[in-house]
Structure 1
Amino acid sequence: MRAAVVTTPGATPVCTDFPDPEPGQDRPPLRLVGAGLHHIVRGLASGRHYGSEQAYPLVPGVDAVARTGDGRLVYTGFARSPWGTMAELLVTPFEVELPAGADPLAVAAGMNPAMSGWMALAARRKETGGIGTTLVLGATGMSGGLAVRAAMALGAERVVAAGRDPGALESLRGLGVDTVELVATAPDTWAAALGAAVAEARPTLVLDFVWGPVAEAAFAALGTTGTDDGGAPVDYVQIGSLAGTEAALPAALLRSRRVRISGSGAGSVSKAQMIAELPEIIARFGDGTFEAPYTAYPLSRVGEAWAHEGRGRAVIVPD
């Protein structure tokens, strides 16, 4: 079969022949419709992501929309290494049928980023019965923007979206959320800006897609002087690290506030938990709650897709 293939760590994939995937028990191969080029896909292929097996050659891709032998469109993923989803044929352990009206390439582009925030929100809802006030750090990226929409759809009392893209923040304000612009040239002002936003209603849930200095500013905003005996507990969930892989955590914050810091991602969330949430997430693409802009690239142009930048996501499609 034809597939995108990475031969060494850090190499750009090329379209070439690759062995067909080994058949699964009672699971005939699916045919690719579209596979999203997500941040995790690049990280795994390069060997930089903690989940990388660093075994080459490999076919990149963690999820896809595919067509079954009887013509149904399904969302799928978790192909067994070295096979990923950027290939003509896929053998995967699960399938979730797309709802009527859902754009299959938007689903391919958006399901992985949507899942990243949704899983933390769903866990909060299951544990406490509600979402409360939610602060989203990195809300102007695709994952963060979808998390804002997910929080609203799941009944958050208030949503504060923080990010650096003024245009994207303006769009989010149109949805009825509060926004905080983290001016790129003035990181020393971030803590004050976040502090002013959370002073009105301290968040009970923080979804952090960026970490690094943004997380440090958020810690400063949450850790005002004095103790907070009557304050509601805060769940701080680390999801992405686009702004940096390290952040200094003040000891005083942990002692003076009821703060629980955890992570959400592959490994801390099981595959079974992810699959259980997929139908509800996919339904949001069908009813228009979620949108994911994309640019489609045929397999033969996977190298161009690898260099794709911008708000939209690259999606690999068959030639």
Structure 2
Amino acid sequence: MKAAVIRGAGTLPDYADFDAPAALAGHRVIDVRACALSRVAYAKASGQHYSSTQRFPFVAGLDGAGRLDDGQRVYFCMPRAPYGALAQQCLVAESLYTPIPDTLDDVAAAALAIPGMSSWAALVERARFVAGETVLVNGATGVAGRLAVRIAKHQGAGKIIVTGRNPAMLDALCEAGADVAIALNGEPDALAAQIAPHFAAGVDVVLDYLWGASAQALLVTAARTAPEGRALRFVQIGSASGGEIALPGAALRAAPITLLGSGIGSVTMPRLLECVRAVFGAAQAAALAVETQAVPLAQIAQHWREPGSGPRTVFTIEA
């Protein structure tokens, strides 16, 4: 079969022949139709993700849309190594796929699943969000952050605050349901000054897609200004602005702040798949959609780059 084969850390995927998966008890062979390039898949292929095994060669791709042998359309995730989703076929445990509703085509489902699941899991599984609470999305102008705003609105958030570097996108987020938009200009003191009144009024959940200086400013400001007894659940999801922060221990002693992570490992795969089902089910009502660029798998080398905040690249696979 044809596949995107990774032969070494940091190398471009090779569109080449790879042995097709054989039947295995407890698994299904899936005919893949679409696979979106995700940050995690890119990082694993580069050998930079915490879950990377450094075993080569393997087929890239962590999830996608495809068909079972009976023709049922399914979304699947975490194919059994060395098979990945960027191939004509992959091997997936029976517990790790779910039907795709007729309201979503293969490309739309593949594009929506991971960023939608990421936001849904952080808000519902990790933060245990309750309708009426105030949610702050740090780094809301990325794909997952934009979906997080719509998901929080759909779940009944009382107030939604967003931060980001793209002014036009911040305006669009306000049209999509955000109540307050704060531009990130790279100065932590400026962010702290603008966000302090909102923490003083009360913030219940922070969904953080950036980490780095902005996350540090939010945590320190929350500790300094939050109303006495007002608990904050700070959920760390992505590290687009840096992998580490210098957080004073006093910040955690001064206020009831709970630090949480959300991702592979902190949420079980069955629960993550349940979040995908929820996202698919809410896609129409909550207007959950992702702008996409569909590209044939044969062109993967030309389109292999770390995903950004623009359209999601979805590789389409012919049988």
After TM superposition, the structure 1 stretch with the greater mean CA deviation from structure 2, 30-39 or 19-28, is 19-28
CA contact (8 A) 1:5 1:14 kept: yes
- CA distance in structure 2 between the partners assigned to 1:13 and 1:53 by the alignment: 17
Q: Does 1:153 align with 2:149?
A: no
- Describe the SS at the equivalent of 2:113: helix
CA contact (8 A) 1:131 1:151 kept: no
Q: Match for 1:32: what amino acid?
A: V
> Quick one: structure 1 residues 179 and 306, their matched pair in 2 at CA, closer, same or farther if it must change by over 3 Å?
farther
Q: Match for 1:144: what amino acid?
A: G
Question: 1:190 Cα shift?
Answer: 1.8
Structure 1 unaligned segments of length 5 or more: list them: none
- CA distance in structure 2 between the partners assigned to 1:83 and 1:32 by the alignment: 12
Match of 2:57 in 1: 57
Match of 2:236 in 1: 238
Q: Match for 1:91: what amino acid?
A: L
- Describe the SS at the equivalent of 2:283: helix
- Describe the SS at the equivalent of 1:9: coil
Q: In the alignment, which of 118, 121, 127 is matched to residue 119 of structure 1? A: 121
Identity %: 33
Q: Match for 2:138: what amino acid?
A: L
Question: 1:78 Cα shift?
Answer: 1.2
**Cα RMSD for the two superposed structures:** 2.0
Question: 1:140 Cα shift?
Answer: 0.3
> Quick one: structure 1 residues 238 and 28, their matched pair in 2 at CA, closer, same or farther if it must change by over 3 Å?
closer
Match of 1:261 in 2: 259
Give the alignment's TM-score, normalised by structure 1.
0.92
Question: 1:179 Cα shift?
Answer: 3.3
Match of 1:141 in 2: 142
CA contact (8 A) 2:28 2:92 kept: no
> Quick one: structure 1 residues 117 and 170, their matched pair in 2 at CA, closer, same or farther if it must change by over 3 Å?
same
Match of 1:180 in 2: 181
- CA distance in structure 1 between the partners assigned to 2:121 and 2:132 by the alignment: 12
Match of 2:294 in 1: 296
Question: 1:210 Cα shift?
Answer: 0.7
Question: 1:296 Cα shift?
Answer: 1.1
Q: Does 1:31 align with 2:31?
A: yes
Structure 2 unaligned segments of length 5 or more: list them: none
CA deviations over 1:35-66 (Å, ceiling 9, x no partner): 01011111111111101111111111111011
After TM superposition, the structure 1 stretch with the greater mean CA deviation from structure 2, 157-166 or 91-100, is 91-100
Give the alignment's TM-score, normalised by structure 2.
0.92
Q: Does 1:198 align with 2:199?
A: yes
> Quick one: structure 1 residues 169 and 48, their matched pair in 2 at CA, closer, same or farther if it must change by over 3 Å?
same
CA contact (8 A) 2:31 2:88 kept: yes
What is the number of equivalent residue pairs in this alignment?
Answer: 315
After TM superposition, the structure 1 stretch with the greater mean CA deviation from structure 2, 258-267 or 245-254, is 245-254
